[in-house]
C-alpha cells in the first residue's frame, strides 16, 4: 500500500503532489548511473534508500521536496557517496 504523504514542491510555488516511491527509486537509480555505477548495483542501492525514506515518511502527512531530497541523499551517502553528491547537486549546478 502506498503512503498518503503530500510532497510540497519548491516552497509551495509548484503546489503539492502525492509521494511516489517509484519516482524516488528512479531518481536514485539515475544518480547512481550518472556516476557509472552498474545497473544492478544502482537498483539495489535505490531499493535500500527508498525503504529508508519510506520509513522516515511514516506518520508524516506533509513534507517538502527539499526535505525528501536531503533525507534521501543522507541515506544514499552511506551506500554511494559520489552518487549522493550528484543527487544533492541536482538543483544547485546552474
Partner 1 sequence: MDIISSLSILALAGLIHASFQLSVSVLTLVNGHALGAKHSQQRALRLSTSFVVGATIMTLLLLSTLSLILLSVFVYEIPAVAWSAVCGLMFSVGVAIWIFYYRRSEGTSTWVPRPVAAYLTGRTKSTKSSIEAFALGMVSIFGELIFIIAPLLAASMVIINMPASWQLAGIATYTIFSILSLVIVWVSIGSGHRVSKIQKWREQNKYFLQFIAGGGLIVMCFYLYTYEVLSSAVLIGGY
Between CA 20 and CA 4 the distance in angstroms is 9
Contact 87, 39 (CB under 8 A): no
Tell the smallest beta-carbon distance from residue 18 to partner 1 (Å): 20
Between CA 50 and CA 15 the distance in angstroms is 23
The count of residues interacting with partner 1 (CB under 8 A) is 20
- Contact between 44 and partner 1 by CB under 8 A: the answer reads no
Between CA 64 and CA 31 the distance in angstroms is 20
Between CA 56 and CA 30 the distance in angstroms is 22
Tell the smallest beta-carbon distance from residue 30 to partner 1 (Å): 3
- Contact between 71 and partner 1 by CB under 8 A: the answer reads no
- Contact between 56 and partner 1 by CB under 8 A: the answer reads no
- Contact between 78 and partner 1 by CB under 8 A: the answer reads no
Residue with cell 545497473: 39
Identity of the residue, 57 or 84, whose beta carbon is nearer to partner 1 in the bound complex? 84
* Contacts with partner 1, residue ranges (CB under 8 A): 10, 29-31, 33-36, 39, 82-83, 85-86, 88-94
Amino acid at each position: 500500500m502506498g503512503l498518503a504523504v503530500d510532497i510540497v514542491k519548491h516552497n509551495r510555488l509548484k503546489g503539492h503532489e502525492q509521494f511516489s516511491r517509484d519516482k524516488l527509486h528512479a531518481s536514485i537509480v539515475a544518480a547512481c548511473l550518472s556516476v557509472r555505477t552498474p545497473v544492478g548495483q544502482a537498483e539495489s542501492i535505490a531499493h535500500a534508500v527508498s525503504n529508508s525514506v519510506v520509513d522516515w515518511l511514516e506518520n508524516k502527512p506533509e513534507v517538502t521536496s527539499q526535505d525528501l531530497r536531503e533525507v534521501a541523499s543522507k541515506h544514499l551517502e552511506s551506500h554511494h557517496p559520489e552518487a549522493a553528491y550528484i543527487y544533492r547537486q541536482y538543483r544547485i549546478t546552474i
